[in-house]
Amino acid sequence: MRKNKILIGVCLAAMVLLFAFAGNTLAQEAMTIVGTLNEDGDLVDQNGVVYLIDGGAISDEDALNSDATFEVNGIVEEDDSGDKWITIQNYKVIETEKSN
């Protein structure tokens, strides 16, 4: 009987861990963000939310175009300090304002 209780306890603990990790994995679905790059090279969406870019996924040529609006698709995660990071899967320049 004692072995059954231990086995049940281990199974329950395993299920809790499984759901905890599964929830984290499901939260990492790709999303699309439209925004511009600020002077630090971070992506800023239309609501002013700043996303730090994980890796140099935006080309230097595109990044130098400070007037460009980007449509970015990637995985967004939030770190312990509340900063949002995006791992870019792909992007495109959807608008470029020309100043006269």
Q: Can you give the pLDDT at residue 87?
A: 93
User: Which pair of structure tokens corresponds to residue 30?
Assistant: 């790709």
Q: How far apart are CA 11 and CA 33, in angstroms?
A: 40
d(CA 36, CA 72): 10
CATH class as words, domain 30-96: mainly beta
State how far the alpha carbon of 56 is from the alpha carbons of 23, 29, 31, 36, 64, in Å: 28, 20, 18, 15, 13
Run of H or E including 78? strand 68-78
Task: Encode pLDDT of 66-84 as tens digits.
Answer: 789 999 999 999 999 999 9
- pLDDT at residue 76, as a whole number: 94
Residue 45 confidence (pLDDT): 96
End-to-end CA distance of the chain: give it in Å, rounded: 83
Q: Residue ranges of the chain with pLDDT lower than 70?
A: 4-5, 7, 9-27, 97-100
